[in-house]
Amino acid sequence: MRIPLDRDDERPLYRQIQEFLRQEILTGALQEGTRLPSTRGLASELGVSRITVSNAYAELEVEGLIYTRLGSGTYVAPGVERILRDREKETGLDHWPPWQQNLVHDSPLYASSKRDRTRALMSAADGTISFAPGIGAKEVYPIRGFLAAVQNVLRRDGSEAMSYGEIEGYQPLRATVSHILSSQGIPTYPEDVLITSGSQQAIALVAHLLLRRGDSVLLENPTYSGAMMVFRALGVRMVGIPVDQGGMKVESAETLLRKAHPSLIYTVPTFHNPTGTCLSTDRRHQLIQLAERYNVPVVEDEFAGDLRYGGQSKPAFKTLDPGGMVIYIGTFSKVLMPALRIGYIVASGPVLKLLQERKQMTDLGTSTLIQRALETYITVGRYESYLNRARRVYRERRDAMEAAIRTYMPEGTTWTSPDGGLFIWLQLPEGLSSSDLYPVAVQQGVSYAPGALFFHDAEDSSYMRLNFALHPSETIGEGILRLGRAVDLYRDMSQT
Ligand code: PMP
The pLDDT score that the predictor gives to residue 380 is 74
CA of 52 to the centre of ligand 1 (A): 36
Residue 365 carries which side chain, given as an amino acid letter? G
Q: List pLDDT tens digits, range 203-230.
A: 999 999 999 999 999 999 999 999 999 9
136 in contact with ligand 1, CB cutoff 6 A: no
- Biggest distance spanned by C-alpha atoms of the chain: 75
Residue 475 carries which side chain, given as an amino acid letter? T
Q: What angle do CA 206, 212, 216 make, to 5 degrees?
A: 85
Q: Which of 303, 337, 422, 454 to mutate to test the pocket of ligand 1 (most atoms within 8 A of CB)?
A: 303
Cα 342 to Cα 174, 199, 221, 257: the distances in Å are 11, 7, 27, 33
pTM, rounded to two decimals: 0.84
Answer yes or no: are the C-beta atoms of 198 and 343 closer than 8 Å: yes
Q: What is the mean pLDDT of each run of 10 residues along the chain (496 residues)?
A: 89 92 85 91 93 92 85 84 63 78 74 50 66 93 92 96 97 96 93 98 98 97 97 96 96 96 98 97 98 98 94 95 96 95 98 98 97 92 87 97 98 96 96 92 93 92 97 97 96 80
Answer yes or no: are the C-beta atoms of 162 and 368 closer than 8 Å: yes
Measured by CA distance, the residue closest to atom 8 of ligand 1 is: 134
196 in contact with ligand 1, CB cutoff 6 A: no
The pLDDT score that the predictor gives to residue 342 is 98
The pLDDT score that the predictor gives to residue 306 is 92
